[in-house]
Amino acid sequence: MREINDLPECDAVAVHEGVTSLAREGVPAPDTLLMLSEFFKIFGDPTRLSILFALDRVPMCVCDIAATLGMTRSAVSHQLKVLRTAQLVSYRREGKNVIYSPSDDHVRDIIEKALEHISE
């Protein structure tokens, strides 16, 4: 990885207003950037990613997720709460069981794009 000091710089001292104006239009509002940053933090945890991968294969209850990933039910429940709050997983009741699954195909799309990116 290059150091900041190794990056080339412009020799000119002119600001290209058309360029900066166009770039500024593409930057979301600060509150949107904060929400996006928080959203991506959720994907920054290997345990949560493991749960999302497992649930993408088959909807499961907490006990099955814990057994699949070799985790405690408590640890899985904690991570599911984070994923639920971020609306990345949804659940339904089946008798006494609560079955979790990805909330929609966007979750899969985000992970697939990220995998594609790191594989290049």
- Chunked into runs of 10 residues, the chain (120 residues) has average pLDDT values of 65 80 89 94 95 96 98 97 96 95 93 93
Closest CA to 103 of 84, 82, 88, 85: 88
Strand partners, 93: 98
Q: Identify the pLDDT of residue 108.
A: 92
Q: Identify the pLDDT of residue 3.
A: 61
Domain 29-119 has CATH 1.10.10.10: yes
CA count, 13 A, side-chain hemisphere, 78: 7
Say if residue 48 is exposed, middle or buried (CB neighbours under 10 Å; 0-12, 13-18, 19+). buried
Q: What pTM, to 2 d.p., does this model score?
A: 0.79
Domain range list for the chain: 29-119
Separation of alpha carbons 76 and 70, rounded Å: 10
Q: Identify the pLDDT of residue 120.
A: 87
Q: C-alpha 56: how far from its chain's center?
A: 14
Q: Identify the pLDDT of residue 4.
A: 58
